[in-house]
Amino acid sequence: MGGEADSVDCGGGRVGIADGGSWAWVEAWIAPWRGVNQTPSPRNSFVTDPKHAGHNTGASWSTYQGEHRERAESDRPHPEGAMQAAFGTRFPHQLGQTRRVTVGQRAFRVRSGLVRAATEVAIIIAGVLAYFLVRGLMDGQEANAIGNADALIRFERAIGVFVEPQVQDWALGMPALGTVANWIYIWGHWPVIVATLVWLLIKHPREYALYRNALLISGGVGLIIFTLYPMAPPRFMPEWGFLDTVGLHSQAYRVLQPPSMVNQYAAMPSLHCGWDLLMGIAIARHAAGRIRWIGRLLPVLMVAAVVLTANHYFMDAVVGDLLVIASLAVAASLRRGVSRPRVAARQRSQALQGA
């Protein structure tokens, strides 16, 4: 070849090769495999450029190398821009400061946590006061509650779902099953509700507000129904074949919730079933792995427990579950209504900053 330009057919066109050594043949062979957007190496660009064909590597190569270096420097992204995009800061020395929490920030977080805790405690106290107010209104309503229970039993018999006495009689033949039902009724309600709400507050604070609001809405509606339509639970209707298994075989529940402090005529709707369904939805949606199965099984087990222990009728469970589902839908709608103006304001602020 000497100093004369040559070329090789590489499938994507003919590539010129100068007298640069055997490496030029390798470069020419792999050129079509590099991709259209890959930047060629400086030396290969030099030896394959037609205006440099026939020239040996010398002064012209040094000149070309300098030109290529200047062009590469001008095309290279600014390191500060890359840092800003990747880490949120333009300067390497600020990387350690992005996770550093000052004393003032820590104190602000503590104050915010205390304020939120105080707010939640105030909400709980308000709910307890409302419950005891309704409890006081139930004095003298025994006859009305028994009459409403009789009416519900007649309704269930008319539609063919009054099977609670037969189901409980079947369960009484298996003492172990009765014990499990008592245990679920006692420990599967308030302990589960408290544990789930605490878990949501710590791990999913935004979702906590949703389920807290749904619980409050359903509880408020439930108190209204308890006041206007008191109903005696099945355990107060022995003439229909019901037996109070919790009172006979376990004193824990009556100790935790003394009859003098509990509304005995709040069978309809069953918030035992409804609130366990609400907690089950939260666990099934936001927990991980096999724990989600607890959320799926919890509502079913509670429905079975309230029927087997003669604390609620089947229709009590149905109405309680429907009430909670509707309350959850209302709470979700309220959250969307509150968040929509905030999102719009944030978008306007970002648009103004961009302008």
Which pLDDT score, from 0 to 100, does residue 3 have?
A: 46
Q: List, in order, residues 6 or more apart from 227 with CB less than 8 Å away.
A: 134, 137, 138
DSSP symbol at 101: -
**Segment 289-306, tens digit of pLDDT:** 999 999 999 999 999 999
Span 307-327, mean pLDDT? 96
pLDDT of residue 115: 83
Are the beta carbons of 46 and 59 closer than 8 angstroms?
A: no
Q: Report percent pLDDT > 70 for the chain.
A: 63
pLDDT tens digits, one per residue of 48-90: 555 555 555 455 555 655 655 655 555 555 555 544 544 444 4
**Which residue ranges make up each domain of the chain?**
1-56, 107-350
Which helix (H) or strand (E) covers residue 309, if one does? none
State the Cα–Cα distance between residues 275 and 253, nearest whole angstrom: 18
222 Cβ contact list (under 8 Å, min separation 6):
266, 269, 271, 274, 320, 323
Q: Give the tens place of pLDDT for each residue, 160-204.
A: 999 999 999 998 889 899 889 999 998 999 899 999 999 999 899
Mean pLDDT over each residue of the chain, to the nearest integer: 76
Instruction: Kindly indicate the confidence band of residue 151, based on its pLDDT and cuts at 50, 70 and 90.
Output: very high
